[in-house]
């Protein structure tokens, strides 16, 4: 049983706001005290330790934690799960996803070793549910038909931004199909990486109303954001403009002069927002979801989200 408001832990960490361990843990404790019991992270986000710190006490079993790994074979996934157990300070992990943003329905064959590893850990009781996080309509459809998959974590937002291998309407249908097949479905990027901040109420309520949707992961880095979003989920804010959003709208990805044009960031971007032109990386701000995935991929430390 999870709260409809899932605390997205990506923005707390070094890919985005880079809050301290203590401040992050305090914010997550505040969320828990508001009744939020669902926390989403990933090996790549480098915030598993933040959740471990927040819930190392007696009530750690009262929270539901989802994490994910990009591992593609058995051994690499084994290392990821062991690291997650250590960092989260838990004997088990509630949901473990194949972290698989830009892939199609073939993901389960391509990463069969990683999936087998998660199923082994589930059988031994270290993982309670196995899932996939994806931007892809075809992967969401394939997950609906995959018996071993318990949870699906697709991208969906009012703009249809970031969805691959299909349209927003097709993703809505894929979500309904997954839910009908008995999968637990929760959504990512409901604010489209910040593009929907000005219409957050409509954006959140659009996803809440989708048939089969259980929960929405929303990234939070400040107490004011937590309380604002909580008030949307609890029906105290019912329309945009009723209260001013505490989020900044001016966050942007910057590429510095130190860029050498190597293209590694282009490979790391799950949204096709980067390209190399005249030996320099260029960003299409209309496609950028401000996830921060590209930043650690740059050997020149040339990418910053500010
Ligand atoms: S990874 Fe860094 S150096 Fe390479 S193209 Fe991207 S921004 Fe430039
Ligand atoms: S350019 Fe970087 S921050 Fe923007 S969507 Fe791609 S990986 Fe994410």
Domain stop point among 200, 233, 266: 233
Same domain membership, residue 278 and residue 165: no
Residue 247 falls inside a structural domain: no
Give the model confidence (pLDDT) of 186-212 as tens digits. Answer: 999 999 988 899 999 999 999 999 999
| Cα 49 to Cα 37: distance, rounded to the nearest angstrom | 17
Is the model more confident about 23 or about 301? 23
Same domain membership, residue 301 and residue 223: no
- Residue 102 Cβ inside 6 Å of ligand 1? The answer reads no
Give the model confidence (pLDDT) of 282-293 as tens digits. Answer: 999 888 988 888
Same domain membership, residue 159 and residue 38: yes
Residue with the smallest CA separation from ligand 1 atom 7 is 259
DSSP one-letter string for 211-252: TTEEEEEEE--SHHHHHHHHHHHTTS--STTSS---S-S---
Same domain membership, residue 181 and residue 136: yes
| Cα 95 to Cα 132: distance, rounded to the nearest angstrom | 10
Same domain membership, residue 278 and residue 223: no
Q: What is the structure's pLDDT at 101?
A: 80
Percent of the chain with pLDDT over 90: 80
Q: Which pairing describes strands 151-154 and 184-187: parallel, antiparallel, or unpaired?
A: parallel
Where is 110: in which H helix or E strand?
Answer: helix 107-110
Give residue 182's pLDDT band: very low, low, confident or very high (50, 70, 90). very high
Ligand 1 centre to CA of 252 (Å) is 16
Residue 61 falls inside a structural domain: yes
Q: What is the structure's pLDDT at 304?
A: 83
Ligand 2 centre to CA of 238 (Å) is 31
Same domain membership, residue 190 and residue 55: yes
Domain region containing 287:
253-305
Ligand 2 centre to CA of 295 (Å) is 8
Phi, psi at 232, each rounded to 5°: -70, -50
CA distances, 68 to each of 43, 44, 82, 96, 252 (Å): 6, 8, 12, 5, 26
3 state DSSP class of 130: strand
Residue 249 has pLDDT above 70, yes or no: no
Residue 28 falls inside a structural domain: yes
Domain stop point among 204, 233, 262: 233
3 state DSSP class of 19: coil
Dihedral sign for Cα atoms in the order 160, 169, 198, 99: negative
Residue 245 falls inside a structural domain: no
**What pTM was estimated for this model as a whole?**
0.91
Angle between helices 200-208 and 223-233 (to 10 degrees): 50
Beta pairing partners, 40: 8, 66
Ligand number nearest CA of 298 is 1
Residue 63 falls inside a structural domain: yes
Give the model confidence (pLDDT) of 122-177 as tens digits. Answer: 999 999 999 999 999 999 999 999 999 999 999 999 999 989 999 999 999 999 99
- Residue 200 Cβ inside 6 Å of ligand 1? The answer reads no
Q: What is the structure's pLDDT at 128?
A: 98
Give the model confidence (pLDDT) of 37-85 as tens digits. Answer: 999 999 999 999 999 999 998 777 899 999 999 999 999 999 999 999 9
Domain stop point among 170, 199, 233: 233
Same domain membership, residue 274 and residue 225: no
The ligand 1 atom nearest the CA atom of 297: 1
Q: Which residue has the tokens 């985005």?
A: 16
Same domain membership, residue 221 and residue 293: no
Residue with the smallest CA separation from ligand 1 atom 4 is 262
- Residue 260 Cβ inside 6 Å of ligand 1? The answer reads yes
CATH number (domain holding residue 62): 3.20.20.100
Residue 244 falls inside a structural domain: no
Same domain membership, residue 281 and residue 178: no
Q: What is the mean pLDDT of residues 102-122?
A: 95
Same domain membership, residue 14 and residue 117: yes
Same domain membership, residue 139 and residue 36: yes
Number of separate domains in the chain: 2
| Of residues 191, 192, 203, 151, the one with CA closest to residue 175 | 151
Mutate to test the pocket of ligand 2, among 101, 291, 305 (most ligand atoms within 8 A of CB): 291
Residue 22 falls inside a structural domain: yes
The ligand 2 atom nearest the CA atom of 283: 1
Give residue 118's pLDDT band: very low, low, confident or very high (50, 70, 90). very high
CATH number (domain holding residue 271): 3.30.70.20
DSSP one-letter string for 175-219: HHHHHHTT-EEEEB-TTGGGTTGGGHHHHHHHHHTSTTEEEEEEE
| Cα 206 to Cα 111: distance, rounded to the nearest angstrom | 32
Same domain membership, residue 173 and residue 25: yes
Residue 10 falls inside a structural domain: yes
């Amino acid at each position: 049983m999870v709260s409809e408001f899932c605390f997205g832990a990506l923005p707390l960490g070094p890919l985005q706001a880079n809050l301290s361990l203590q401040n992050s843990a305090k914010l997550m404790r505040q969320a828990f005290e508001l009744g939020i019991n669902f926390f989403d992270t990933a090996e790549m986000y480098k915030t598993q330790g933040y959740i471990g710190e927040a819930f190392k006490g007696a009530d750690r079993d009262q929270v539901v934690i989802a994490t994910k790994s990009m591992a593609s074979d058995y051994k690499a996934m084994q290392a990821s799960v062991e690291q997650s157990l250590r960092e989260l300070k838990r004997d088990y992990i509630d949901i473990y996803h194949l972290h698989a943003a830009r892939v199609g329905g073939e993901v389960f064959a391509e990463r069969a070793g990683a999936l087998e590893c998660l199923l082994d850990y589930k059988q031994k009781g270290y993982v309670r549910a196995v899932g996939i996080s994806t931007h892809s309509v075809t992967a969401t459809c394939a997950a609906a038909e995959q018996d071993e998959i318990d949870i699906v974590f697709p991208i969906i937002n009012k703009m249809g931004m970031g969805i691959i291998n299909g349209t927003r309407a097709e993703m809505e249908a894929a979500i309904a199909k997954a839910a009908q097949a008995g999968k637990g479905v929760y959504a990512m990027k409901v604010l489209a990486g910040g593009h929907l901040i000005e219409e957050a109420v409509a954006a959140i309520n659009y996803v809440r109303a989708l048939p089969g949707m259980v929960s929405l992961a929303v990234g939070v880095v400040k107490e004011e954001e937590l309380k604002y979003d909580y008030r949307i989920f609890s029906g105290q804010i019912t329309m945009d403009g009723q209260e001013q959003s505490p989020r900044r709208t001016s966050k942007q990805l910057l590429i510095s002069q130190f860029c050498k044009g190597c293209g590694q960031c282009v490979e790391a971007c799950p949204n096709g927002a980067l390209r190399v032109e005249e030996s320099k990386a260029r960003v299409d701000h209309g496609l950028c979801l401000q996830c921060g995935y590209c930043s650690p991929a740059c050997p020149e430390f040339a990418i910053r989200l500010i």
